A and B are shown apart, each in its own frame.
Chain A
Amino acid sequence: MRLEPTELTPAETRLQQDVRDFLAERLPPGSPPAGLGMAARADPEFSRALGRRGWLGMALPREYGGGGRGAVERLIVVEELLAAGAPVGHHWVADRQSGPTIAANGTEEQKRYFLPRIASGELSFAIGMSEPEAGSDLASLRTRAKPVDGGWQVSGSKIWTTGADTATHILALVRTSSDRYAGLTQFVVDRHSQGLTVSPIPFIDGTRDFCELTFDNVFVPDSRRLGEVGRGWRQNTAELVLERGGVDRWMSLMPVLEHWAAHRWGRVPRWAEADLGSITARCWAFRGMSLSIARMVDAGRSPTVEAALVKEMATRFEQDCVEIVTRHFGRTPDLGSADPYESLLARAILVSPSWSIRGGTSEVLRNIIAKGLAKA
């Protein structure tokens, strides 16, 4: 497996500068970071401001309000947002995967309705995949949709869904027949549907974005079925490529790393500079891999194995970074500290185990990579 090196074009470099200028104004130096990477807090107004500049739904087709641009341009925007610790929570899932999935599989009506609203930052999506008995073994999920007049009646539960409480829609993978893979179908479920209960599950750091969803005979119109009945597994697998391999898999801690490197916890001593250098070198290497994968996506390829390979090693690296920075911080950071960076580091200690679990556990990813290598 080889990845091709790539550079930003002049137009892409201009985009990078535009995003930097926007962020310098919107989140001036001294603004506290909004969280750890993709887990940063939701700020619908911020997301709409990005939407107005054309920086959401960038890879969605123009005719549906998207940018008609590509994965590389989205990467450029995203890496600036994550470096700044921007509040990306509101649009994150919709921008990264629900939008592109709807664009690839949706009906004309679905595309006309959802895509412009995703690109403007109006809608917020959550992912309804895992269930109490179906985590890594996703195909064993049991939440069921049975056909009724005009649509489907969904019953069951989804769990460990980040942001479901504040999302406007859930993109759910649901069982429509007993066939393990061909019995799965995707639906776009309105968060406020009758019979859908969203209960926050306190996360390990005390936050309440993690949710359990109970579907009690929730009616979903057939017009909100995404793709053919029984195509859900395949659509979902393609969606996972978008979820892995991106810069978000190694940038969670970036605002804290920047703070450290800027000597805001005091001058970085000479002996600690080696760790800073080692982290920088690895970030550079990962950035090259993410960029290369984004180019492959733009070239119409589906680098499933490459994305898994990057995510598996990048999330371990992120976790190493937490260890290293904590060591240099010199004492146990306090979650309730008035210093937002200290608080963020404390949060990172608590939540970083989730980085190699969400979006496919490292164990599942290694199996995907091993199978991919065996075929190659």
Chain B
Amino acid sequence: MTTDSSLERLVSEFFAGSCPPEAVTRAEATGLDTRLWDAAEQLGFPLVGLDERRGGSGGSLSDLLVLLHVAGRHAAPLPLAETNLAAWLLHRAGRDAPSGPMTVVPGAERDTLTLREGVLSGVAHGVPWATGARRVVALLEDENGSLQVVSPALTELTIHKGSDLAGMSRDTLVARDVPVDAAPWTGTPDALFVRGALLRSAQMAGALEEILELTRDYVGQRTQFGRAIGSFQSVQQHVVTLAQASTMSSLAVRRAGHAAATGDASFEVCATKLVLNQQSALATRAAHQAHGAIGMTQEYRLQHFTRRLHGWRGEFGDEQGLALRIGAAVARRGGLARVITAPSATVGV
């Protein structure tokens, strides 16, 4: 398995040209930039890794992870992961994916969204990019306990606007007896959670790689006491911490992606997201410490990444929930050595 470097180059060039730091900042005030979205959609970015016969862009899951990694490196203010997740649910339920930005209901404990007799009602919390998306896809149990995929247009729902720690839209949705078309879901109930954790992890790994580069550049240029601060060992240590976080994270995501392409990758994906959550905590602290006061300002772009990392840590698996899930499975098996040395996609959690 090798990274598709030509895809990585293509996506990098696109975001470098069309998504400068000002565009990221602007999106906090104005929401989804439809021109940026259209440009990305024209290149087929949102639906990479999905079947072309159903409106996808083709390519593999690793291609999608490369795309999201690069999007993470640029803090791209686009619902790429969300749209892809939504389309993936629809495809798996036998439906075609429409064009335009979409999102998913990640599913929170306090959600009250229910599907009864083809009618959707209740509240869904923490829905990313509901403002800006055209359609929201949810995986819900119907009155018989069967899983169904529904995809109402957002115009049919009430949106209470909110934002995440990075200033991106993260909304509450209210459905008041909305008739919906439901398609049966034959996968596992947590398939969306696992897939979402993998896609978020790819974005996080990209952001971690970028804050390593930002910090490395900054400590090489910033002069104090008559020399570059990067020449002080105590400052270099922060760069080392960032390199460790980035290296460990990028590798974990690619391994988990490989596992997910072959079978039940719930262990690999949960382990990856957990490790990335932990490494993000260490890395954001190290990057801010190395940057000093300038990194605390909105004028400087470190915050584009650290704020996203803070938010993403809690989405599709926070540290405690993932740790409990893996730990319960390991305790059931009565050992961890065979879990960590098992071939990919053979250990479920």
- Tell me if B251 and A288 are in contact (CB < 8 A): yes
Knowing A273-B331, A276-B331, A284-B271 touch, does A312 contact B339 (C-beta < 8 A)? no
Stretch at the interface among B97-105, B124-132, B133-141, B234-242: B234-242
- Cα of A219 to Cα of B330 in the assembled complex, Å: 56
Q: How many residues from B make CB contacts under 8 Å with A?
A: 51
Q: Which of B46-54, B189-197, B302-310, B316-324 contacts A (4 or more CB under 8 A)?
A: B316-324
Which residue of B is nearest A287, CB measured? B340
Set of chain B residues within 8 Å of A254, measured between Cβ atoms: 337
Question: From residue B289, how far is it (CB to closest CB) to chain A in Å?
Answer: 15
Q: Please, which residue of chain B has its CB at the minimum distance from the CB of A84? A: B337
Partner of A312, one of B240, B255, B320, B326: B240
Query: Does B301 sit at the interface, judged by CB under 8 A?
Result: no
Assembly CA distance A349 to B274 (angstroms): 26
Q: Which of A1-39 contact B (CB under 8 A)?
A: 1-5, 7-8, 13, 16
Q: Are A13 and B343 in contact (CB under 8 A)?
A: yes
Q: Does chain B have a CB within 8 A of A278?
A: yes
Please classify the interface of chain B as helix (H, G, I), strand (E, B), loop, or mixed, using the class held by over half of its residues.
helix
Contacts of B254 in A (CB 8 A): 4-5
Q: Shortest beta-carbon distance, A5 to chain B, in Å?
A: 4
- Give Cα distance in the complex from A276 to B183, angstroms: 38
From known contacts A13-B343, A274-B320, A285-B252, infer whether A280 and B239 are also in contact, taking CB-CB under 8 Å.
no
Beta-carbon contact of B240 and A8 below 8 Å: no
Cβ of A40 within 8 Å of any chain B Cβ, yes or no, is: no
Contact of A284 among B237, B244, B327, B340 (CB under 8 A): B340
Tell me if A192 is interfacial: C-beta within 8 Å of chain B: no
Report whether A285 and B244 are in contact in the complex, using a CB–CB cutoff of 8 Å: no
The answer on a CB contact under 8 Å between A275 and B323 is yes
Nearest residue, chain B, Cβ from A365:
B240
Q: Which residue of B lies closest to A13 (CB)?
A: B343
Residues of A contacting B: mostly: helix
8 Å CB contact of A283 from B250, B327, B340:
B340
Contact B326 A281 (CB under 8 A): yes
On whether the beta carbons of B337 and A258 are closer than 8 Å, the reply is yes
Q: Are A309 and B336 in contact (CB under 8 A)?
A: no
Give Cα A285–Cα B255 distance, bound, in whole angstroms.
9
Does B334 have its Cβ within 8 Å of any Cβ on chain A?
yes
Q: Are A277 and B326 in contact (CB under 8 A)?
A: yes
Inter-chain contact A258/B336, CB cutoff 8 Å: yes
Is A309 touching B323 in the complex (CB atoms < 8 A)?
Answer: no
Residue in contact with B324 in the complex, picked from A2, A3, A273, CB distance below 8 Å? A273
Would you call A263 and B331 a contact (CB within 8 A)? yes
Q: A261-B335, A283-B340, A373-B243 are in contact. Are A277 and B330 (CB under 8 A)?
A: yes
Q: What class of interface size applies to chain A in its complex with B?
A: 35 or more
Bound form: Cα–Cα A280–B267 in Å = 10
Question: Is there an interface contact between A3 and B247, defined as CB atoms closer than 8 Å?
Answer: yes
Contact with B along A293-318 (1 / 0, CB 8 A): 00000000000001001001100000
Q: Once bound together, how far apart are the Cα atoms of A272 and B328, in whole Å? A: 9
The answer on a CB contact under 8 Å between A2 and B322 is: no
B258 within 8 A of A: yes
State which residues 27-43 of B face A: CB under 8 Å: none
Complex Cα–Cα for A273 and B333 (A): 12
Interface residues of B in 241-268 (CB under 8 A from A): 243-244, 246-248, 250-252, 254-255, 258, 267-268
Residues of A within 8 A of B230 (CB): 374
B293 at the A interface (CB under 8 A)? no
Residues of A bordering B, CB below 8 Å? 1-5, 7-8, 13, 16, 79-80, 83, 254, 257-258, 261-263, 268, 270, 272-285, 287-289, 292, 306, 309, 312-313, 366-367, 369-370, 373-374
- Name the 4 nearest CB pairs between A and B, nearest first: A277-B327, A273-B327, A277-B326, A281-B271
28 pairs, A vs B, C-beta closer than 8 Å: A1-B247, A2-B3, A3-B247, A7-B343, A13-B343, A83-B341, A258-B335, A261-B330, A261-B333, A261-B336, A268-B327, A268-B331, A270-B328, A273-B323, A273-B328, A274-B324, A276-B326, A276-B330, A277-B325, A277-B327, A278-B274, A280-B340, A281-B274, A281-B275, A284-B268, A288-B255, A292-B251, A309-B247
Residues of B whose CB lies within 8 Å of any CB of A are 1-3, 216, 230, 233, 236-237, 239-240, 243-244, 246-248, 250-252, 254-255, 258, 267-268, 270-272, 274-275, 278, 319-320, 322-331, 333-337, 339-341, 343-344
Known: A258-B336, A273-B330, A275-B327. 20 other contacts (CB 8 A): A2-B3, A3-B247, A5-B1, A270-B324, A276-B326, A277-B324, A277-B326, A277-B329, A278-B274, A278-B278, A281-B326, A282-B275, A282-B278, A284-B267, A284-B339, A287-B340, A289-B251, A309-B247, A369-B244, A370-B236
